[in-house]
Amino acid sequence: MAIEKADVVRSLAGRDAGELFFVSSTDGEYAYIVNGRDRRLEKPKKKKLKHLKRVDRGDGRIDLKLRSGEKVTNSELRRALAEKAGEGNKEV
């Protein structure tokens, strides 16, 4: 189960352990993650894939915008992650 762009992931290690993020891009063994609050689109966090667990591969509006390369705002990311957190994060 590979982690790809626009997936929702949970951090397993570090200060941000347990938090949800969107993957803005991947690069070999690293993913660049954003949540619109601490990690904004302008400055994503580089994190090893082994420290992330995929929670959802959604087909929501934000997921589609990230995959297609359309402009996404930080507030849209925050709102989408809040909705995902409210769903109970069904593991995929």
pTM across the whole model: 0.87
Contact predicate 45/35, CB 8 Å: no
Q: Which of 11-20, 30-39, 44-53, 60-69 shows the lowest mean pLDDT across its residues?
A: 60-69
With 0-12 / 13-18 / 19 or more C-beta atoms within 10 angstroms meaning exposed / middle / buried, residue 5 is middle
Round to whole Å and give the CA distance between 8 and 71: 18
The whole-number pLDDT of residue 41 equals 93
pLDDT digits 0-9 by tens, 47-91: 999 999 999 886 688 888 999 989 999 999 999 999 888 876 555
Round to whole Å and give the CA distance between 4 and 29: 11
Domains and CATH numbers, the chain: 8-86 (2.30.30)
Round to whole Å and give the CA distance between 37 and 68: 22
